[in-house]
Structure 1
């Protein structure tokens, strides 16, 4: 919802303040940065042009592209030549353009200060974000407060019991106070492994075991090494998910992956065949493709396969 209607009259660079819910010293650095960014951009040449808040049905919406959105945002927020009444009119006329191309006013969504869970499994039909929140309509003037309360409920208050239960359970296995010896990045690495796997040629050759038709010097295996080196971060995660059942590596990378990744030559497999795996033992059956391009294409296609068809 934060993207939904961030256009509001909070403050202007000339000292005019209207609807901001924060003290001025909070907003001034943001205003200064916004204006610095504005003066460096192509928006500057449009700044003097009057803008209509709503377009006719034969044209596009005011939210049709980023440039137009920024133009309206800056003009309404910072142009003190527009009266407060006119600013309010412009804001009230703003529309949200949906994916279906429909223009919808905020009030037409009939939002209130409540959170509606996505499933009945939560055990309640709605949660009020404020006392008597179900009777408070969301408008352009209180939208920012609604967004903040909604996010706070989703990410904090609404899951407080679940987070406490997780913390208590984790504490029984490993005292949380002992984790204070590690930074957040170190703790994440120990618990979750490397989320952005990386390797080099030496790692692959040293900690991957070619067998049954492949050796460390065979052309097919060396093509495989080059394919792995040329993968992007997301492709590496997909490859690991396909071959090991986990998209990340343990701390230390391939050297600490057990069992080792084993690559064998898939017999009776032509150029049109795809690799297959035994995920539990990290066992990749790879046809001896004639080129790295074909090998990478077949390998990445196989990583998108769901289920056990290529096991």
Structure 2
């Protein structure tokens, strides 16, 4: 699909498939030997299919179809691009392929006050980190949804600073999990610039991690937020984009680009350790003796997610 902000400022989700002969409109290989290059991201006034030059406005309406003048009863509007339901929440764009689905925001009503002080809708995106993950996407969600693994995987990077035993896990009333991991001594997390003004004393001294089921994940700290975008490609493979998001106050830092590099390097160091868990847990899961293990109270978020998945399977 194509996510676009149209000329009136409305964000839309359009089909990326030309209704003529199903050519993709954007996202082609930039090295492909065709005269029209369709970048995956950018600015444009319309979309044009490189196959036969059918073109569409930013609201999806067809605006041109050369060579169709003799087609009987050809109605351009009938061949506009299909659109999908779009909802904005916390600066994130959610798309639902089911036009009858219930709105998302009411389901997250209890989550909103827990994260609104981070001013998610004001954050600015830094260059993402990208990873190829050769295991099922749910394993990445499980690793990211709890801090119990600070004890092992991150004992050198995180455990001393944010001990797993201090993890505070909410019992949510919605399709999400949330936990907070405070600093070891409860002191505020050091910041290089003024954090958002509305953060509480608790939020100034902890990491807050949210998983909106099934796999929208982000964590927030006073200085920045990181969004983990999972893109499943098969049952045993997915891509993961780690997207750092910083508050506009980052401009107070003498060298904002230097700060961005520090954030990206920190996230990469931690995630490289998480990648080890994903790869080896997936390998272990293939064993004929592998069976579900007992869970700690420090990973009750996984129980919450598993129950949600079971509900979706039993009551689709």
Answer 1 or 2: which has greater helix percent.
1
Q: Same fold (TM over 0.5)?
A: no
Give the TM-score of the pair, scaled to structure 2. 0.20
Q: Which has the higher contact order (CA 8 A, sep 6+)?
A: 2
If the length of structure 1 is used for normalisation, what is the TM-score? Answer: 0.20
Q: Which has the higher strand share?
A: 2
